[in-house]
Amino acid sequence: MIFENNLAFAQSLDRQDPLHHLRADFLFPKQHGTPFIYMCGNSLGLQPRAARSYVDQQLNNWENLAVEGWFEGETPWMYYHKELKGLMAHIVGAGPREVCPMNTLTVNLHLLMVSFYRPTATRFKIIMEAGAFPSDQYAVESQVRFHGYDPKDAIIEVAPRVGEATLQTADILAAIADNSEQLALVLFGGINYFTGQWFDMPAITKAGHHAGAVVGFDLAHAAGNVPLKLHDWDIDFACWCSYKYQNAGPGGISGIFVHEKHFSDKSSDRFAGWWGYQEQQRFKMEKGFIAEAGADGWQVSCTQVIPMALYHASLKTFEKAGFIGPLREKSLRLTAYLYYLISEVNKTLGFEQYKIITPSAENERGAQLSIIAKYKGKEVFQALVANNILGDWREPDVIRLSPVPLYNSFEDVFLTAERMLTISKELITPKQ
Ligand SMILES: *Cc1c(COP(=O)(O)O)cnc(C)c1O
pLDDT tens digits for range 210-243 = 999 999 999 999 999 999 999 999 999 999 999 9
CA of 296 to the centre of ligand 1 (A): 21
> Which ligand 1 atom is the nearest neighbour of the CA of 133?
13
- Which residue lies with its CA nearest to atom 10 of ligand 1? 135
122 labelled ligand-binding? no
Asked if residue 292 lies in contact with residue 277, where contact means CB atoms within 8 angstroms, the answer is yes
- Predicted local distance difference test score (pLDDT) of residue 362: 95
Q: Which of 223, 222, 217, 253 is nearest to 235 (CA)?
A: 217
CA distance 150 to 146: 9
Mention every residue, 6+ apart, whose C-beta is less than 8 A from residue 429: none
What is the reported pLDDT for 430?
A: 60
**Protein residue with its CA nearest to atom 13 in ligand 1:** 133
Q: What is the pLDDT of residues 271-290, one digit of tens each?
A: 999 999 999 999 899 999 99
43 is in an annotated binding site: no
134 labelled ligand-binding? yes
pLDDT for residue 27 is more than 70: yes
- The residue ranges of every structural domain in the chain are 7-35+322-427, 53-320
Tally of residues, the chain: 432
Other Cβ atoms within 10 Å of 427 Cβ, number: 16
Residue of 128, 136, 192, 195 with the most ligand 1 atoms within 8 Å of its CB, for mutation: 136
Cis ω for the linkage preceding 396 (within 30 of 0): yes
Which residue among 140, 187, 193, 221 is best mutated to probe the pocket of ligand 1, counting the most ligand atoms within 8 A of its Cβ?
193
How far apart (Å, rounded) are the C-alpha atoms in residues 419 and 338? 13
The ligand 1 site (C-beta within 6 Å) comprises 104-106, 133, 135-136, 189, 193, 218, 220-221, 241
Stretch 328-342: mean pLDDT: 98
> For residues 302 and 245, what is the distance between their CA atoms, to the nearest angstrom?
25
Give the DSSP H/E element, type plus range, for residue 399. Answer: strand 398-401
* Arithmetic mean of pLDDT, 312-330: 98
> With 60 as the cut, is the pLDDT of residue 343 above it?
yes
Residue nearest to atom 15 of ligand 1 (CA): 220
Report the pLDDT averaged over residues 102-129: 97
- Model confidence pLDDT, tens digit, residues 372-403: 999 999 999 999 999 999 999 999 999 999 99
Question: What's the pLDDT score for residue 369?
Answer: 98
Strands 125-129, 155-158: pairing is parallel
State residue 1's pLDDT score. Answer: 86
Share of the chain above pLDDT 90, in %: 96
Does the pLDDT at position 85 exceed 60? Answer: yes
What does residue 399 show for φ and ψ, rounded to 5 degrees? -100, 125
179-211 tens-digit pLDDT? 999 999 999 999 999 999 999 999 999 999 999
101: left (phi over 0), alpha (psi -120 to 50) or beta: beta
Q: Tell me the C-alpha distance between 262 and 242, whole Å.
A: 24
> Cα 171–173–174 angle (5° rounding)?
60
Ligand 1 centroid distance, CA of 353 (Å): 30
Closest CA to 258 of 235, 277, 275: 235
Strand partners, 402: 40
User: What is the number of the ligand 1 atom nearest to the C-alpha of 251?
Assistant: 8
* Closest listed residue to residue 17, CA positions, set 416, 300, 366, 329: 329
- Closest ligand 1 atom, residue 221 Cα: 15
379: burial class by Cβ within 10 Å (0-12, 13-18, 19+)? middle
Tell me what the pLDDT averaged over the chain comes to.
96
| Predicted confidence (pLDDT) at residue 169 exceeds the cutoff of 90 | yes
Residue 135 alpha carbon to ligand 1 centre in Å = 6
Confidence of residue 95 (pLDDT cuts 50, 70, 90): very high
Do 7-35+322-427 and 53-320 fold alike per CATH?
A: no
Nearest partner of 420 among 380, 369, 391, 390, judged by Cα: 380
Q: Is the pLDDT of residue 308 over 60?
A: yes
CATH of span 53-320: 3.40.640.10
* pLDDT of residue 132 exceeding 70: yes
- CATH code for the structural domain at 7-35+322-427: 3.90.1150.10
Q: What is the pLDDT of residue 268?
A: 80
> With bands split at pLDDT 50, 70 and 90, how would you rate the model's confidence at 250?
very high
Compute, in angstroms, the gap from residue 80 CA to the centroid of ligand 1: 24
Q: Which of 301, 268, 290, 289 is nearest to 117 (CA)?
A: 268
Between the CA atoms of 379, 384, 385 and 386, what dihedral angle is there, to the nearest 10 degrees?
A: 90
Q: Is the dihedral of CA 422, 428, 429, 431 positive or negative?
A: negative
Global pTM reads 0.97
In the predicted model, what is the mean pLDDT of residues 348-357? 97
139 Cα: distance to centroid of ligand 1 (angstroms): 11
Measured in angstroms, how far is the CA atom of residue 402 from the centroid of ligand 1? 17
What distance in angstroms lies between residue 238's CA and the mean position of ligand 1's atoms?
A: 13
Q: Quote the ligand 1 centre to 423 CA distance (angstroms).
A: 32
List pLDDT tens digits, range 402-432: 999 999 999 999 999 999 999 999 999 765 4
Gap between the Cα atoms of 178 and 160, Å rounded: 17
Bridge partners for 394 per DSSP: 398
Residue 69 clears pLDDT 90, i.e. is over it? yes
Per DSSP, the residues of 186-238 read: EEEESB-TTT-BBP-HHHHHHHHHHTT-EEEEE-TTTTTTS---TTTTT--EE
Q: What is the atom index within ligand 1 of the atom nearest the CA of 193?
A: 15
Atom of ligand 1 nearest to the CA of 132: 13
